[in-house]
Amino acid sequence: MENIKNSIIKAYNFRHACKEFDSSKKISDDNFKFILETARLSPSSFGFEPWKFLVIQDISLREELKPLCWGAQGQLPTASHFLIILSRNINEMKYDSKYILNFMENVQKLPSDVIPIKNKFYKDFQENQFKLLESDRAIFDWACKQTYITLANMMTAAAQIGIDSCPMEGFDKDQVENLLINKGILDKNHFDVSCMVAFGYRKADPQFAKTRQSLDKIVEWI
Ligand SMILES: Cc1cc2nc3c(=O)[nH]c(=O)nc-3n(C[C@H](O)[C@H](O)[C@H](O)COP(=O)(O)O)c2cc1C
């Protein structure tokens, strides 16, 4: 047990927001599949998986993204694998959407009498409890929050097998989405861009030591 805990904490210390990767080192297919698997197995609200992962390996597309992504200047050209994480929008996530109804029937394989019951809970949750239907932005932000769980899981899993990463929000969302729409990669009827994450092997050790507040500053026991 102690060994497992030590190795997990070691991975958390190893992980840092890597600004530039050694572009000569590629993540093996097997290791990258392992990273994606931790995204796939991540939890989501009601289990509805409001996400999709674009693996951007096309160098010319990465070059076109670069001027739109101020926070990915070193990562875009050097990452072994570069992901754009999409989140499903209101057309997909609203309680009465085709996506949700199909999901309950064909992915979750719920019995036909359970579907309306779950759906009623989901409707009430969206309409009244979390008020997600007040604006497109509310439901987008809610879906995005969930994609960040996959982001965290992938980065931690990668760190546990010695792979570096960087999470990124440093980009112009509208411009990135327009580029992807023009390329026929993004369908705004279904998805919005949530965030980005790069994976690879660090070119150099981090310049600065990790800074974090102590636990007593961020935890309050009641
Ligand atoms: C949501 C989010 C967005 C971020 N966006 C960027 C980014 O665009 N570019 C970048 O280089 N780092 C980005 N970072 C990395 C943070 O700056 C970094 O995680 C933080 O400074 C702590 O450092 P550490 O991760 O190395 O421990 C982002 C981190 C998070 C969680």
Q: Which pLDDT belongs to residue 65?
A: 98
Q: Which pLDDT belongs to residue 5?
A: 96
End-to-end CA distance of the chain: 28
Q: 133 and 89 in contact (C-beta within 8 Å)?
A: no
Q: Which pLDDT belongs to residue 205?
A: 95
Considering the chain, what is the average pLDDT of its residues? 97
Query: Would you place residue 107 in the very low, low, confident or very high pLDDT band (cuts 50, 70, 90)?
Result: very high
Q: Residue 51 contacts by C-beta under 8 Å, 6 or more apart in sequence?
A: 39, 44, 85, 86, 87, 88, 143, 146, 147, 150, 194
CA 70 to CA 82: how far, in whole Å?
Answer: 15
Reported as a single tens digit per residue, the pLDDT across 36-95 is 999 999 999 999 999 999 999 999 999 999 999 999 999 999 999 999 999 999 999 999
Reported as a single tens digit per residue, the pLDDT across 171-192 is 999 999 999 999 999 999 999 9
Query: Would you place residue 149 in the very low, low, confident or very high pLDDT band (cuts 50, 70, 90)?
Result: very high
Q: 89 and 208 in contact (C-beta within 8 Å)?
A: no
Question: 154 CB less than 6 Å from ligand 1?
Answer: no
Kindly give the residue spans of alpha helices, DSSP state H, lying in 66-104.
Answer: 75-78, 90-93, 98-102
Q: Which pLDDT belongs to residue 146?
A: 98
Q: Which pLDDT belongs to residue 217?
A: 97
Reported as a single tens digit per residue, the pLDDT across 6-43 is 999 999 999 999 999 999 999 999 999 999 999 999 99
Please give the average per-residue pLDDT across 99-115, as a whole number.
98
Report residue 207 as tokens. 């310049």
Ligand 1 centre and the CA of 166: distance in Å?
A: 7
CB atoms within 10 A of CB 110: 16
Look-up of token digits 């996959």: 150
Instruction: Map residue 54 onto helix, strand or coil.
Output: strand
Question: 17 CB less than 6 Å from ligand 1?
Answer: yes
Please give the average per-residue pLDDT across 84-111, as a whole number.
97
Q: Residue 40 contacts by C-beta under 8 Å, 6 or more apart in sequence?
A: none
Q: Which pLDDT belongs to residue 176?
A: 98
CA 163 to CA 86: how far, in whole Å?
Answer: 22
Question: 19 CB less than 6 Å from ligand 1?
Answer: yes
Ligand 1, atom 20, lies closest to the CA of: 17
Q: Which pLDDT belongs to residue 143?
A: 97
Q: 118 and 110 in contact (C-beta within 8 Å)?
A: yes
Look-up of token digits 């309050």: 220
- Under DSSP, the state recorded for 87 is E
Q: Which pLDDT belongs to residue 102?
A: 98
